Amino acid sequence: MKKYLLPLLATISLSLSAGCWKKVDQISTLNEQRVYLIISEYGNRYYHMKNDLYRSGVYYSIPDPSSNDYFNNYFTFQLKNAGDGYWNLYNVCRGSYVNATVYSPISLIDKPDGVEPSKWLIDDKYIKSHIADNLNLVFVLRNRNYYGLVSESVIKKASHAKPYEYLYPKIYELSTLTLDENSDFPSYLSSFDVDSVVLKRTFVDNVKNTLILPFDVPNYKKVFGDNVVAYEYSCVEGNTINFTEINSDKLNANTPYIIKGSSFNVSPYIIDATTIHPVSSGQKYNGNVIGVYKSMQAKNGYILTVNDIMKCKESNEKPLLIQPYRWYFNSNISNAKLNLIDNHVSSISKIKYDHSLKKVFDIQGRVVSEDYSNFGSLPKGIYIVGGKKVVKH
């Protein structure tokens, strides 16, 4: 059994547990710095595309349903400016551009390798793609049954049809993004802005919790707790992994931290207007720290547990999975120890040195001397020696 370790917009909106979406009132406000949802409305129901296959049908719901986690798993997309008023559509959930094809049947597909992304023109009524001379394909919901493409000429001839025969999709903009430690972070194309983030993440009081996020967190103590302290990776001395208390109130995007406190605020955590940055799970930071944005197994490194630090191997009988928005330390160090360096400094004359620890690091964790006996020749400043901050006057 697997284990887990520890912008003009209309006032109409859909309040969703996986995000809050606002209906775009003016198409001129569309831009590359937002995430959008394609959805069709008829009566009191909303219709949106399933994620598995474009032609596999639709899901419909009444407004404000009790459970809406599925919205983040459907046709959400980002725009890329293709020039001359056209856009490329990038399907976030499928991690691919959306292309139109005239091959039978006319349909939407993931962009094939080696093929240019289709260009889409978006106006107040249509989302359409110009495929060939005199052939414009219009994106519609057909008979409330499935999304597909119809020739613009056919649409015009069908003006007498029943109102639900062809439903033109509307566009909603993501306002509030919810990130849950039990769900993988989506494969976004580029950075985008949101009005707020809701972070569902578990922290344990009085324990070293790992944290890495795809956005900045200003005033982190206000968000996570007044007595919470954040530490950033600085260096390795022998078999000791040092993390140093940060000097600011801001956590930076895609930076691994240890945060510790005697009383965390209750999850979920709300972070005001911020920019979300695309990331890849398993990406290295500062050389040895592996950020986790999608549930994954730690390989040949160290993970933090409630009992401090533990070695994990790829050959473990029971794979240890790390949930999103955490990290692990990838190293072959034997018997590694974790050291948190608080944000106070000691006088150099008061430090009793361990002669086995020869290196001197600057505050960014860079080696400035291979032997602390040369400390006297270094410029004035704050250094890390023997896992402690020391000041050179």
> Quick one: average pLDDT of 362-380?
69
Contact (CB, 8 A) for 381 and 362: yes
Rounded to whole angstroms, the Cα distance separating 358 from 353 reads: 9
> Quick one: average pLDDT of 324-349?
74
Q: pLDDT at position 337, please?
A: 81
Number of neighbours of residue 183 by Cβ within 10 angstroms: 17
The larger pLDDT score, comparing residue 218 to residue 169, is at: 218
Q: pLDDT at position 105, please?
A: 72
Residue 9's pLDDT band (cuts 50, 70, 90) = very low
Rounded to whole angstroms, the Cα distance separating 156 from 45 reads: 25
Q: pLDDT at position 4, please?
A: 38
- Angle, CA of 105, 154 and 74, to the nearest 5°: 55
Could you tell me how many helices (H) and strands (E) the chain has, helices first?
2, 35
Tens digits of residue pLDDT in 49-94: 765 567 656 666 645 433 344 455 567 889 999 999 999 999 888 8
Residue 178's pLDDT band (cuts 50, 70, 90) = confident
Residue found by looking up tokens 């399907």 in the block? 91
Rounded to whole angstroms, the Cα distance separating 270 from 277 reads: 17
Residue 160's pLDDT band (cuts 50, 70, 90) = low
Closest by Cα among 201, 177, 181, 180 to 191: 177
Q: Which amino acid is at 242?
A: N
Structure tokens at 370: 């291979």
Pairing of strands 120-122, 127-132: antiparallel
Residue found by looking up tokens 């500062």 in the block? 286
Rounded to whole angstroms, the Cα distance separating 115 from 89 reads: 14
Q: What's this model's pTM, rounded to 2 decimal places? A: 0.79
For the chain, first and last CA: distance in Å? 56
Tens digits of residue pLDDT in 203-227: 999 999 999 999 999 999 999 999 9
Q: pLDDT at position 333, please?
A: 75
Tens digits of residue pLDDT in 259-276: 999 999 999 999 998 999
